[in-house]
Amino acid sequence: MRVLIAGFGNKFMSDDGFGPRVIEELTKLKLPENVELRDVGLCDVTLAPDLADYDLVIFVDAVKTGGEPGTLYVLEITAGDVETRVGNLTAKLSLHQTGVEEIIITAKAIGTLPRKVVVVGCEVERVELGEGLSKKVEEAIGNAVKLILEFLAGDKSAEN
């Protein structure tokens, strides 16, 4: 089983740097060799073709839904439910012009969507020019890492 964990965001726009910061923390751990970590920054749908190389993809991103800053949201998506889980979202979750939603929809359309996709989003407090995360978003990094490790440990179905 090949796994990609991709962190989206701009480290120079305060809380939008959540995804890359989670990737930084994960690089400090000894992860299995089949797990690839990528800080994808503000990538666009050109990432979609690469997803064919993986059985599980975990996207990590900052989101703005109006919730409490630092709240983590987890969305599990399979190829069969892209339209209902992603395509019918009434509000864009990602803060970027091309967000996780567009990459997932594009990958499904071109036949490169992995069997399972997980989106881990963190509610932002502020997105403004400047480095560093707000306190609540910084505190959410450890919980996001734990969630990701649980997904890695729990996805035994892809080993066969």
> Which domain CATH number covers 8?
3.40.50.1450
pLDDT at residue 40 greater than cutoff 80 = yes
Structure tokens at 97: 């012009």
If 0-12 CB within 10 Å is exposed, 13-18 middle and 19+ buried, where does residue 156 land? exposed
Q: Which domain holds residue 104?
A: 3-159
Give the pLDDT score at 154: 83
Q: What is the pLDDT of residues 6-37, one digit of tens each?
A: 999 998 889 999 999 999 999 999 999 999 99
Are the beta carbons of 79 and 111 closer than 8 angstroms?
Answer: no
Structure tokens at 103: 């990459």
Give the pLDDT score at 89: 41
Give Cα 112 to chain centroid, integer Å: 17
If 0-12 CB within 10 Å is exposed, 13-18 middle and 19+ buried, where does residue 120 land? buried
Q: How far apart are CA 5 and CA 147, in angstroms?
A: 12
Give the pLDDT score at 158: 36
Q: How many domains does the chain have?
A: 1
Give the pLDDT score at 83: 62
Which one has a higher pLDDT value, 41 or 19?
Answer: 19
Q: Which of 74, 94, 72, 75 is nearest to 140 (CA)?
A: 72
Q: What is the pLDDT of residues 107-159, one digit of tens each?
A: 998 999 998 999 999 999 998 898 899 999 999 999 999 999 999 998 643 33
Give the pLDDT score at 88: 43
Q: What is the pLDDT of residues 56-81, one digit of tens each?
A: 999 999 998 889 999 999 988 876 77
Helix axis angle for 135-154 and 18-27, nearest 10°, is 50
